[in-house]
Amino acid sequence: MKEETVIKVEGLTKVFGDFIAVNNINFHVRKGEIFGFLGANGAGKTTAMKMLIGISAPSSGSANVAGFDVYTQTESIKKSIGYMSQKFALYDDLTVKENIRFFGGIYGLSKNNISLKSNLLIEELGLEKVVHSLVGSLPLGWKQKIAFSVSLLHDPKIVFLDEPTGGVDPITRRQFWEMIYKAANNGTTIFVTTHYMDEAEYCDRVSIMVDGTIEALDTPKNLKAHFGSDSMNDVFLKLART
Amino acid sequence: MSIRIDHISKSYGKVNALDDISIQVHQGELFGLIGPDGAGKTTLFRILTTLLLPDQGSASVAGYDIIADFKAIRKQVGYMPGRFSLYQDLTVEENLRFFATIFGTTIAENYDLIRDIYVQIEPFKNRRAGKLSGGMKQKLALSCALIHKPKVLFLDEPTTGVDPVSRKEFWEMLKRLQDKGITILVSTPYMDEAALCDRIALIQDGRILEIDTPKAIVEHYPKPIFDVGAHNTYLLIEKLNAYAHKHSVFPFGEYIHYTDQRDGFDPLELRAYLKKEGLQNIHIERTKATIEDTFMELAKQ
């Protein structure tokens, strides 16, 4: 069985002035994989992610995302991916329904398709009672679950999640991860950053960035074995505390 | 008693941010408020630092009443709010000097207290606060909250969004401050940090779920917990949730934490069920409850 590669990164580098934010990183991500992208604050994760989603041009190296080149085909990349972060997810002063309609429209879905998907999403998340509530009035955990579903509206090949569960309560955090598993099981590739090290264990493979370079990349199991640690937290501390 | 909170309630319109909260924090204690976003932690901090009035109840900090003696409290406490609230266009040193001056002291007078923390950002003392990295901002904010040598330190989610390495360093700093006799009330959404406190209050939706030492809280967990693993985690979660006798199913790192409704639960029976459902490499082993298990069990009720 040939495994389809949906993200191919080779020698990717980003320089700001004399500061090398991302230094020659290399990795491949397979279709349907949950890929954890870890690193300390300031290690270069966000910069790397910005290049992959087509909003920041690399200084050198190459990357192909969902079959498109990060230098020349950024608009095609944007149509093929979903994105959500802790800071940006949905518009607080639009209702749940309005947000769905807005993002559906942005992603170029037809009116019929938006209403179909919108009903499906509302039913799946049990949102019947809050469809006409402003998103700003909902608990953070709900917002994040809705935002994740919205990022999947246009059936993207890859979803980028930048610390999607920060501050979310432990039960909702797990429900969120069940949604991630489900999407991955349906063939969507998940690229996720997190500061919760137990969540790193939920990933198929994990990369750990330190000062702009990828210092480790493997399954959580292999990483723990390699570093003689019993948790990903311990692996992270060993690698990142220099 | 360093902090006494007596039946405090506060609502915003229809939302009960705090519902009849009572907590006592001892002199020199490192006390944790553990709960997710929206639990009411920030509201409680604002009440204790005299920035907000409670609807009901009373409280005192360092022996002073939060309403009658609010001015005295402001001199005795240090407060690091959740959102970075220093002056972005003052430099590191200017911010620190500003806070020292408004409290009628100098950096030199209390330098001893902040030395550990401040030396790490001192090389950047001429940089504007707005240009600092997240970790450096956090250290500067803590230095500013300490510069007047407070008796009680309030830290509202100082480690949220901070990576595990910086979080660990931050907690080591807190321990050293505690050794100097400062009472610390700190909130966090990270359950693993709870274990580092002397005592904790688990809080959700404005209510206290439990107050005790971290050790006692995990010992109170009512059921045996089992680590369950298999070749396909998604399928495993699905099948465990569909199992007629399950009580709770929660992913926990490498394994799923499973509890059963029945008293005489036999893991072999679960293994047979999972095998029949097509799971391979099945692993079932008794494990210990964590604070997060307890939190979820209490929050479910």
Read off the pLDDT of residues B186-232 as tens digits, 9 standing for 90 and up: 999 888 899 999 999 999 999 999 999 999 999 989 999 999 999 98
Report the CATH number at residue A48: 3.40.50.300
Nearest CA to CA, how far is B161 from chain A (Å)? 7
Confidence of residue A2 (pLDDT cuts 50, 70, 90): low
Q: Does residue A178 belong to the interface with chain B, where contact is any CB pair within 8 Å?
A: yes
Q: Pick from B37, B134, B168: which is nearest to A168 by CB?
A: B37
Whether residue A202 and residue B161 make contact (CB cut-off 8 A), yes or no, is no
For residue B150, pLDDT over 90 is answered with yes
Interface test with B, best of A195, A232, A236 (most B CBs within 10 A): A195
For residue A1, pLDDT over 70 is answered with no
Q: Confirm whether A219 is domain-assigned.
A: yes
Q: Does residue A201 belong to the interface with chain B, where contact is any CB pair within 8 Å?
A: yes
* Residue pLDDT, tens place only, A10-52: 999 999 999 999 999 999 999 999 999 999 888 899 899 999 9
Nearest CA to CA, how far is B67 from chain A (Å)? 30
Q: Pick from B37, B39, B163: which is nearest to A195 by CB?
A: B163
Mean of pLDDT over chain A: 92
- DSSP codes, chain B: --EEEEEEEEEETTEEEEEEEEEEE-TT-EEEEE--TTSSHHHHHHHHTTSS--SEEEEEETTEETTTTHHHHHHHEEEE-SS--S-TTSBHHHHHHHHHHHTT--TTTTHHHHHHHHTTTGGGTTSBGGGS-HHHHHHHHHHHHHTT--SEEEESSTTTT--HHHHHHHHHHHHHHHHTT-EEEEEES-HHHHTTSSEEEEEETTEEEEEE-HHHHHHT--S-EEEEE-S-HHHHHHHHHH-TTEEEEEEETTEEEEEESSTT--HHHHHHHHHHTT--S-EEEEE---HHHHHHHHHH-
For residue B120, pLDDT over 80 is answered with yes
Q: Does residue A233 belong to the interface with chain B, where contact is any CB pair within 8 Å?
A: yes
* Residue pLDDT, tens place only, B224-257: 999 999 998 889 999 999 999 999 999 988 899 9
Q: Pick from A163, A232, A240: which is nearest to B161 by CB?
A: A163
* Residue pLDDT, tens place only, B289-300: 999 999 999 887
Report the pLDDT value the prediction gives residue B136, as an integer from 0 to 100: 85
Cβ within 8 Å of A, B 74-133: 133
Lowest mean pLDDT: which of A83-87, A212-216, B86-90, B187-191? Answer: A83-87
Report the pLDDT value the prediction gives residue B64, as an integer from 0 to 100: 97
For residue B1, pLDDT over 90 is answered with no
For residue B262, pLDDT over 90 is answered with yes
Tokens (6 digits) for A109: 């879905």
The percent of residues above 90 in pLDDT, for chain A, comes to 77
Confidence of residue B133 (pLDDT cuts 50, 70, 90): confident
Between chain A and chain B, how many beta carbons pairs sit less than 8 Å apart? 99
Q: Confirm whether A131 is domain-assigned.
A: no
The percent of residues above 70 in pLDDT, for chain A, comes to 98
Report the pLDDT value the prediction gives residue A147, as an integer from 0 to 100: 94
Lowest mean pLDDT: which of B72-76, B116-120, B158-162? Answer: B158-162
Mean of pLDDT over chain B: 93
Q: Does residue B38 belong to the interface with chain A, where contact is any CB pair within 8 Å?
A: yes
Q: Pick from A41, A172, A221: which is nearest to B163 by CB?
A: A41
For residue A197, which residues of chain B lie inside 8 Å, CB to CB? Answer: 164, 253
Domains along chain B?
A: 3-219 (3.40.50.300), 225-300 (3.30.70)
Range of the domain at A225: 5-66+73-89+157-240
Q: How many domains does chain A have?
A: 1
For residue B154, pLDDT over 60 is answered with yes
Nearest CA to CA, how far is B118 from chain A (Å)? 19
* Residue pLDDT, tens place only, B2-21: 999 999 999 999 889 999 99
* Residue pLDDT, tens place only, B40-91: 999 999 999 999 999 999 999 999 999 999 999 999 999 999 887 899 999 9
Average pLDDT over residues B157-177: 88
Q: Does residue B285 belong to the interface with chain A, where contact is any CB pair within 8 Å?
A: no
Average pLDDT over residues A180-197: 93
For residue B168, which residues of chain A lie inside 8 Å, CB to CB? Answer: 237, 241
Q: Does residue A172 belong to the interface with chain B, where contact is any CB pair within 8 Å?
A: yes
For residue A242, pLDDT over 70 is answered with no
Average pLDDT over residues A110-137: 92
